[in-house]
Amino acid sequence: MKLNTLKLVNFRNYEKVNLKFSNHLNIIYGNNSEGKTNLVEAIYALSITKSFRINDDKMLIKNGCISTKIEGEVEDKSTNNYEVIINKEGKKVKINNTVISKVSDYITKINIVLLEPDEQMILSSSPALRRKKMNIEISKLEKDYIIYLNNYNKTLKQRNFYLRELYINGNASKIYLDILTDKLVNYGIKIYEARNNFITKINNYIGEKYQKIFGFGDLIIKYNSDYKNKTKEEIIDFYNKNYKREIAMGKTLYGIHHDDITFLLDKKNIAEWGSNGQQKNAIFAFKLSLIELIKDVKDSLPILILDDLFSALDNEKIDNIIELLNSDIQTFITTTELERLNKNLLKNASIFKVKDHLVEEEF
């Protein structure tokens, strides 16, 4: 999969951008705050209609403007034109000029693997953030996942509400709670299976990828879930035994909304024991595994974005790491330090300089 062109109108600090990209390596360089990340953020938003660094889409609109448009031509088995238009009221997505009403139909089309600067922070941040990241990756691979997730969250809210109702009104019927529990578990099992499947497949690759980068060490992701190795009956039984505690607490205490993943290096949690370099390499090994997984599922290589290369990767290993990339994968790198990149790499790349709200290709 390749992004051939990118057109922006009033996106972040850019009024107009019109670019043609290389099928292989694209390097975007410039000083801090000139708009390098903004550019790759636009590519990412073309794929999943959202930014990776903010939740409020409206922030993507250039200050003082009323809307923004991101447009790109993507070549895969066929070549298609994609558009994301965001204004104060909401957003609209189009493929080949036709409006797509279901976003879940849109976001599975363009596959991007993105490495953010200092993304290893996620290893020691909250489980909620790790779940969110995992959800994004799985929903790009599995169309119905986002629907299960929305249904689960809706049922969870209803169940929590009813648990509080039971607390206030001791006479309220438990039958309705059982109905909600059954519903919750049905959606929960779908989500558990999708997550378990995802982690299992990532684990088929991640150990080998890590060793190629680092030389040694046994890396694996461990998936922790209340539903692990349990049948539906066992899960329901568990809720039945514990519902009084849930009533007392006024919320659902068990379920896939508490899931988490841990990266284990030589059986130890890398967030607690790993060096910063090891953590960065582990995240990158995860991204390389994701590339393989997408290739397996979609039968097409994703687009790779490495934002702020020298903060995202372990400095000493950068040349090794770049060499690990499949030469067919279209890659976007942003950096402030062009001179630190290998000369051979630069020779075969398209290079874009970002300055004063303009992007110019250097020939």
Ligand X SMILES: Nc1ncnc2c1ncn2[C@@H]1O[C@H](COP(=O)(O)OP(=O)(O)O)[C@@H](O)[C@H]1O
Q: Which residues bind Mg ion (CB under 5 A)?
A: 37
Q: Which is nearer to ligand X, 66 or 324 (CB)?
A: 66
CA 315 to chain centre: 24
Give the DSSP per-residue string, 48-81. HSS-SS-S-GGGGBPTT-SEEEEEEEEESSSEEE
Q: How far is CA 44 from CA 31, 38, 314, in A?
A: 21, 10, 23
CB 280 within 8 A of CB 315: no
H or E element: which one contains 37?
helix 36-48
Q: Which is nearer to ligand X, 102 or 340 (CB)?
A: 340
Could you tell me which residues are beta bridge partners of residue 2?
Answer: 75
Shortest separation between residue 241's beta carbon and ligand X, angstroms: 51
Site for ligand X in 23-42 (CB under 6 A): 30, 32-38
Site for ligand X in 34-93 (CB under 6 A): 34-38, 59, 61-63
Q: Which is nearer to ligand X, 48 or 265 (CB)?
A: 48
Q: Which is nearer to ligand X, 245 or 355 (CB)?
A: 355
Indicate the DSSP class of residue 100: P
Shortest separation between residue 36's beta carbon and Mg ion, angstroms: 5
Q: Which is nearer to ligand X, 268 or 340 (CB)?
A: 340
Cα maximum dimension of the chain = 77
Give, to the nearest 10 degrees, the angle between helix 232-249 and helix 145-168: 50
Residue from the set 4, 5, 13, 87 that interacts with ligand X by CB under 6 A: 13
Shortest separation between residue 281's beta carbon and ligand X, angstroms: 23
Task: State the binding string over 105-144 for ligand X (x if CB under 6 A, else -).
Answer: ----------------------------------------
Contact residues: ligand X, CB under 6 A: 12-13, 30, 32-38, 59, 61-63
